[in-house]
A and B are shown apart, each in its own frame.
Chain A
Amino acid sequence: DSGVTQTPKHLITATGQRVTLRCSPRSGDLSVYWYQQSLDQGLQFLIQYYNGEERAKGNILERFSAQQFPDLHSELNLSSLELGDSALYFCASSVEVAGAHNEQFFGPGTRLTVL
């Protein structure tokens, strides 16, 4: 158990809909990362938040957005869903201390199926 929690575990929805994925980082970790992993594909970095502020951006679509709240939990919002958005969405957290390795701890993922 990494200490990172994600809800829901599974999500099934229809094209055009909007969903929200939730992530709670490990206690003490200030940074949250979001990743997308399509079937049999590698992990794609979407976005990173640090202490409530966006820190780095990857290949995140404009239809997707994220935020980190004062209690450090994060939400990833996916809108106007398409069939191709079906994937595993992982959240990871790290301490993000300057000069340190800052290992990322991954949650169990949310499996999104768009029908």
Chain B
Amino acid sequence: KNQVEQSPQSLIILEGKNCTLQCNYTVSPFSNLRWYKQDTGRGPVSLTIMTFSENTKSNGRYTATLDADTKQSSLHITASQLSDSASYICVVRDTGRRALTFGSGTRLQVQP
């Protein structure tokens, strides 16, 4: 069964600090991995999309890494801002069923 597991479940950091969120997946055959940011009650917004051959992708202060061998990804947030407070969701797509498997997300709270 395809699964995506994220850790930690929740995280509180101080404004200006860095943090790293983790994603482990068992989806096969792998197509791509996406990180989304979701503000409470709103639709997710894409941060990065990575395929099998991509190890790192950046979007401003967000940097995602992918290790397809160990089936792990991370999202690193640099110099956090209050507006970074949201849920961050890891999503993996398989090439077989073309379906998406969502992680349960990491809820990040940035405090002043």
Contact = CB atoms under 8 A, between A and B. Distances in A.
B89 interface: yes
| Interface size band for A | 20 to 34
A42 B98 contact: no
Given A43-B44, A58-B99, 17 more contacts: A2-B43, A4-B43, A42-B89, A42-B102, A43-B89, A43-B102, A45-B101, A45-B102, A48-B99, A56-B97, A56-B98, A57-B99, A58-B100, A101-B49, A103-B49, A105-B46, A106-B45
Interface string B22-36: 000000000010100
Nearest to B104: A42
A33 B99 CA distance: 10
B104 A101 contact: no
B44 A106 contact: yes
Interface residues of A: mostly helix, strand, loop or mixed?
A: strand
B24 to A, nearest CB: 15
Given A42-B89, A55-B98, A56-B97, A103 B103 contact: no
Interface residues of B, number: 20
Given A48-B98, A57-B99, A103-B49, A42 B43 contact: no
Interface of A: 2, 4, 33, 35, 41-45, 48, 55-58, 88, 90, 92, 101, 103-109, 111
A58 B1 CA distance: 12
Nearest to B4: A42
Contacts of B42: 108-109
B51 interface: yes
Contact of B43 (A41, A45, A101, A108): A108
